[in-house]
């Protein structure tokens, strides 16, 4: 009886405490959070052929998936990890219509962060996009950028800051939903910043800014903290920026990880932080549900990726909005080319796939694009000089495959959708420069030796053939190189200047070869007089009307030249212009050695000689000791 009275007294005390301090009763309360997420959407407003008889992506289908998830989880947040732009023809409305942010607003996104491709039009283009979004009056998501600010030496810094302020760009935000106060902030990663060299923005320290945001959000009452990070993950933990972020910064409950186009079938858990990625190009809608308490203890309740494919019906409202964007693209950007969005250029009986990362072989799509550049020089360029020309493209700029069947203008654009020209419109232009024969061979060596370190640097050329062995010494892998004009081979003269045409981005990368090769290879783009080029905007190729020759249009026009005959079967795979050997034959490995190979062999020989000397000396001493000398 005494125990009963004691228990009753304890219960009475607890009830009194609960009445006086309601929050104390909830201190151990278990709550659930559901977050719906995307990243790296890259303006994939419309479904894309997936090469397996189906389709992938499309915002009208994404909207259907979002609605279904919200019916199951009415208090779910919808967030995006950046690179929501650049990847389809609708991106051409980026600076004037802000189609991406306005459509995401219509789909009910709560917050997004900016990725490197949001700055493909530079900081000014980014500001113009924000202004267009505000001027529309349409609903738009919050835009969070904690560590990426206009550079103080940017002449348009104040104008950009005004546009950001008018939009309401913040470092972080508080959002109440379902009785929970969420803290959300956005970050730009180190590699992502490196991929935006013309942004005119400065990257602040990632971890320091993350700590600052976490501390401020906690002080302002945030109960669950989410980071929208355009940094990404990597198979190697030390190279995985978001895993390092989670390890170094306490207090982040969830990271939506973009930039590396990763698809995580299960979340990564680092310390107490969950990291999630749904894959690029609107392929999936990610959903994570966590159960948690005020002590920060979390339990994974559910994690799944919903494929955005033909099994989902299209939301009518978003479908109509996307069709309107298409109409506007046709009336503005495409009209100058005499093309329409879905116009069929030609057909293909086979898939033209993007290069497989790290696999050093020929590639039909890469060779098709290189040939398209050469065709454009010969057929579209005004006042094209009558000189031997080599054209170059890189794996990193080939953004989409071309699948068997009809090939449309929009699909041609998707392949080469990156960048902006000096005319301020989407798409990198073709540019020209001159290289010596020695430097031209070094370009082939970049493909042979740098690609294993940087897969995006794999090159495809027209007007030149070469061979290399992947087992030879680095920077001495090329065994033969020659010009080829479709009829005869032409020997390359080391001191002669040769014209090289490429997209502006790839051409600008030629100047970085020396640093990437530790100073061993040197390529200095020059003009026709042999003077170094400091500004590629002066080297843009133009047509007879003075318009920039865009990379994507060179491809579109070349495809259109095939007409009903279709893409030649020679592009079904690499045609042998780049001959890659993996032989271990000693003669092939050592023929035509450079000083690098000779020095390496000398070091090896001296090393072997030293080992032999030490072994013989050791044996000699042992014998003397054994004989009692």
pLDDT for 198:
86
> What's the pLDDT score for residue 613?
79
Residue 38: closest CA among 247, 276, 350:
276
User: Is a pLDDT exceeding 90 seen at residue 626?
Assistant: no
> How far is 319 from 59, CA to CA, in rounded Å?
8
Provide the CA 305 distance to its chain's centre, in angstroms. Answer: 21
CA distance 340 to 333: 10
Q: What pLDDT was estimated at residue 359?
A: 85
pLDDT band for position 585 (cuts 50, 70, 90) = confident
Higher confidence at residue 447 or residue 590?
447
* Mean pLDDT, residues 91-105: 97
Which pLDDT score is estimated for 122?
Answer: 92
pLDDT of 540 higher than 90: yes
Class of domain 29-307: alpha beta
Cα torsion through 480, 481, 483, 485, rounded to 10: 60
What is the rounded average pLDDT for all residues in the chain?
91
Nearest Cα neighbor of 53 from 319, 352, 408, 351 is 351
Report the Cα–Cα distance between both ends of the chain, in Å, rounded: 99
In Å, how far from its chain's centre is CA 470? 26
> Which pLDDT does position 600 carry in this prediction?
67
pLDDT tier for residue 194 given thresholds of 50, 70 and 90 = very high
Cβ contacts of residue 273 below 8 Å, gap of 6+?
246, 252, 253, 254, 255
> What pairs with residue 278 in β-bridges?
263
Strand partners of residue 188: 230
Rounded to whole angstroms, the Cα distance separating 492 from 512 reads 23
CA torsion angle for 294, 295, 299, 304 (degrees, to 10)? 50
Q: Could you tell me the pLDDT band of residue 3, with boundaries at 50, 70 and 90?
A: very low
**What is the pLDDT confidence band of residue 408, given thresholds at 50, 70 and 90?**
very high
Q: Kind of pairing, strands 268-270 and 77-80?
A: unpaired
**Does the pLDDT value for residue 586 go beyond 80?**
yes
Q: At what angle do helices 316-331 and 99-106 cross, to 10 degrees?
A: 170
For residue 186, pLDDT over 90 is answered with yes
User: Within 13 A of 118's CA, how many CA atoms are on the CB side?
Assistant: 30
Cα-Cα-Cα-Cα dihedral sign, residues 194, 462, 483, 384 = negative
CA distances from 346 to 57, 349, 390, 407 (A): 24, 10, 25, 6
Q: Are 81 and 286 in contact (CB under 8 A)?
A: no
Band of residue 510 on the pLDDT scale cut at 50, 70, 90: confident
Does residue 618 surpass a pLDDT of 80?
no
pLDDT at position 23 is 39
Q: What is the mean pLDDT of residues 218-241?
A: 96
What is d(CA 35, CA 147) in angstroms, rounded to the nearest whole number?
23
Least confident of 47-51, 168-172, 299-303, 542-546: 47-51
Confidence category of residue 596, pLDDT binned at 50, 70, 90: low
260-288 mean pLDDT = 97
What topology is assigned to 352-581 in CATH? 5'-nucleotidase;  domain 2 (3.90.780)
Could you tell me whether strands 389-394 and 459-462 are parallel, antiparallel, or unpaired per DSSP bridges? antiparallel
Q: 493 versus 516: which is more confidently predicted? A: 493
Q: Is the pLDDT of residue 16 over 60?
A: no
DSSP 8-state symbol, 473: P
Distance CA 128, CA 111 (A): 19
């Amino acid at each position: 009886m005494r125990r009963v009275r004691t228990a009753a007294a304890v219960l009475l005390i607890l009830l009194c405490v609960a009445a006086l301090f309601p929050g104390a009763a909830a201190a151990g309360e278990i709550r659930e959070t559901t977050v719906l997420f995307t990243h790296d959407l890259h303006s994939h407003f419309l479904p894309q052929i997936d090469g397996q008889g189906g389709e992938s992506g499309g915002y009208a289908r994404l909207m259907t998936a979002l609605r279904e998830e919200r019916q199951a989880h009415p208090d779910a947040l919808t967030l995006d990890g950046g690179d929501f732009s650049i990847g389809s023809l609708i991106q051409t409305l980026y600076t004037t219509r802000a189609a991406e942010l306005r459509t995401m607003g219509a789909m009910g996104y709560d917050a997004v962060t900016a990725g490197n491709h949001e700055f493909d039009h530079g900081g000014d283009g980014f500001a113009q996009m924000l202004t267009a979004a505000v001027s529309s009056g349409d609903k738009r998501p919050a835009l969070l950028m904690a560590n990426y600010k206009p550079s103080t030496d940017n002449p348009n810094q104040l104008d950009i800051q005004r546009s950001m302020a008018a939009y309401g760009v913040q470092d972080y935000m508080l959002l109440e939903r379902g009785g929970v106060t969420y803290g959300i902030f956005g970050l730009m990663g180190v590699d992502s910043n490196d991929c935006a060299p013309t942004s005119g923005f400065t990257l602040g320290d990632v971890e320091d800014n993350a700590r600052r945001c976490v501390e401020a959000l906690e002080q302002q009452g945030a109960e669950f903290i989410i980071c929208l990070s355009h940094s990404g993950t990597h198979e190697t933990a030390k190279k995985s920026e978001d895993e390092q972020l989670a390890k170094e910064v306490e207090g982040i409950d969830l990271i939506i990880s973009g930039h590396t186009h990763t698809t995580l079938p299960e979340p990564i858990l680092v310390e107490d932080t969950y990291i999630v990625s749904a894959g690029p190009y609107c392929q999936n809608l990610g959903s994570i549900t966590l159960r948690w308490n005020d002590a920060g203890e979390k339990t994974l309740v559910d994690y799944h990726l919903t494929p955005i494919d033909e099994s989902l019906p299209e939301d009518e409202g978003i479908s109509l909005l996307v069709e309107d964007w298409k109409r506007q693209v046709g009336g503005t950007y495409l009209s100058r080319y005499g093309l329409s969005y879905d116009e069929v250029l030609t057909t293909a009986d086979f898939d033209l796939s993007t290069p497989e990362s790290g696999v050093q072989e020929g590639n039909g799509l890469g060779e098709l694009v290189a040939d398209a550049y050469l065709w454009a020089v010969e057929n579209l360029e005004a006042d094209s000089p009558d000189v031997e020309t080599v054209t170059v493209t890189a794996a990193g700029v080939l953004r989409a495959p071309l699948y068997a069947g009809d090939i449309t203008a929009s699909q041609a654009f998707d392949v080469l959708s990156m960048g902006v020209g000096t005319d301020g419109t989407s798409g990198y232009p073709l540019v020209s420069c001159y290289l010596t024969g020695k430097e031209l061979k070094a370009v082939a060596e970049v493909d042979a030796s740098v690609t294993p370190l940087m897969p995006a640097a794999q090159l495809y050329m027209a007007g030149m053939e070469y061979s290399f062995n992947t087992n030879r010494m680095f920077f001495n892998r090329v065994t033969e190189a020659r010009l080829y004009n479709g009829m005869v081979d032409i020997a390359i003269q080391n001191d002669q200047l040769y014209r090289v045409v490429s997209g502006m981005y790839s051409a600008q990368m030629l100047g970085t070869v020396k640093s990437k090769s530790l100073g061993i290879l040197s390529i200095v783009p020059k003009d026709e007089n042999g003077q170094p080029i400091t500004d590629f905007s002066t080297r843009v190729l133009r047509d007879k009307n003075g318009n920039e020759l865009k990379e994507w249009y060179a491809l579109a026009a070349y495809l259109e030249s095939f007409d009903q005959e279709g893409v030649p079967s020679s592009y079904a795979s690499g045609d042998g212009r780049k001959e890659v050997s993996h032989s271990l034959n000693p003669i092939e490995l050592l023929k035509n050695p450079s000083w690098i190979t000779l020095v390496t062999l000398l070091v090896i020989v001296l090393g072997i000689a030293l080992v032999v000397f030490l072994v013989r000396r050791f044996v000699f001493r042992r014998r003397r000791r054994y004989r009692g000398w």
